[in-house]
Copies of this chain bind each other. A is one copy, B any other.
Amino acid sequence: MAPDAEDRLSRLLARRRALLGPVYRTFYERPIEIVRGEGVHLFDRDGTEYLDAYNNVPAVGHAHPRVVAAVADQAGRLNTNTRYPAEPILDYAERVLGTLGAHLDHVMFTCSGSESNDLALRIARFWTGKAGVVVTVNAYHGVTAAVAEASPSLGPAVAPGPSVRTVLPPVPTAEDAEAQGERMAAELRSAIAALEADGAGFAALLVDSIFSSDGIIPDPIGFLRPVAEAVRAAGGLLIADEVQAGFGRTGGMWGFQRHRLEPDLVTMGKPMGNGMPVAAVAGRAELLDRFGREIRYFNTFGGSSVSVAAAAAVLDVIQDEGLVENAADVGAHLRDGLETLVAGSPMLRDVRGAGLFVAADGFAPGGDPAEVASRILNGLRDRRVLVGTTGKRGEVIKIRPPLVFARADADRLLEALGEVLGTLA
């Protein structure tokens, strides 16, 4: 970076620290001041271009013209709340429910994945009359008090809720699908027994079917079925957190469908409005009916006119540009390329993923895998390719680009990654 640009960035970060406080962190050793986005490309203040292989919110691409036009048009006409009956939200509800499966027939709107998971827990606890919730050991479900205490990945400073229990997710390298599902189901039955013993009872298993913050665990397909059966047998609800996995990310429309599950509630968010704050909870009608009859719930911005216009445009683009199919195709191509790189480097291993939710682990024989992952992350950033890290210790390289990512974009990422791995060898 030129000295001027470095000065500017230092001042920006100092001012940020002074106004917003330390909770506002950055991604890279050399943070980037992004000012423009287009498709899979981001541009900093100096006009330098970056390949975005990280951001899952702008799923149909940064500043997609159809979404921008829908937002601008609707904002210029009306942006109001759901107390006024309106057709567009019903058209959208019908379309999104149509993708989810016949057993999910109501949808409620919120502003964020956190609000959706919070609402889903409220509905589950109200329906069952029980408090207990089970999540995976490094789960992340959001930032409201109720979901933060069910998000162990936030670390020990956020006390786990008194009625929250954890189970280990499947082991990605295990060879036997049945064994993984049965093992997790057995752990879940123990957790449920503990909840029942201490009086909380069991309300729900809240699970993200690709285990985004547990390290990205996509396979084997179907491993969650014994787990879902254990939930049913105990009279609890299965809540599928599709905030990250949903809307085509995993090469199918919904992550739970990949595992052939029938969740009672489905939460969605991040890519739903391509950046507009719109999210939702879909569920079986009887659950939302009882909650809605007995509980007052009004979300001022949830399902507002502009949010719904953005969400509808996103569905249009996903369909018209074949983005679910693209995620499957380019994701497979990317994983193939990663396998080739892994074969030639000891610093990266265990390539996995579904669609354009792809991961591999940093590895250092006798060393710190998170340190390797960090060097890869920052090495790619210096080559203008943006990825992320995840996992318990941050050892997992997370590749999760907008769904308009092309094979050529994957090739560019692979070439840069090959260079970075070369510097680490």
Query: In the complex the two chains form, is B289's CB within 8 Å of A301's CB?
Result: no
A128 at interface, CB cutoff 8 A:
no
Measured CB to CB, the closest approach of chain B to A321, in angstroms, equals: 19
Kindly report how many copies of this chain are found in the complex they form together. Answer: 2
A221 at interface, CB cutoff 8 A:
no
Residue of A122, A143, A158, A291 most packed against chain B (CB within 10 A): A143
- Dominant secondary structure of chain A at its interface with chain B: mixed
Residue in B33, B65, B76, B87 whose CB lies within 8 Å of A85: B33
A300 at interface, CB cutoff 8 A:
yes
Taking residues whose C-beta sits less than 8 angstroms from the other chain, chain A's interface range is 35 or more
Q: What sequence of 0s and 1s flags, for each residue 64-83 of chain A, a beta carbon within 8 Å of any chain B beta carbon? A: 01011001100111111111
* Residues of B close to A184: CB separation below 8 A: none
11 other A-B residue contacts (CB within 8 Å) besides A57-B81, A79-B274:
A19-B93, A20-B90, A26-B83, A65-B76, A71-B72, A72-B76, A111-B112, A111-B301, A114-B299, A119-B143, A143-B299
| Leading 6 A-B pairs by shortest Cβ distance | A23-B292, A72-B72, A79-B275, A145-B146, A277-B301, A277-B277
Query: Which of A's residues lie within 8 Å of B, judged by CB?
Result: 9, 12-13, 15-16, 18-27, 31-37, 42, 55, 57-58, 62-63, 65, 67-68, 71-72, 75-87, 89-90, 93-94, 97, 105-108, 111-115, 118-119, 121-122, 143-146, 148, 154-155, 157-158, 269-270, 274-278, 285, 288-289, 291-302, 304-307
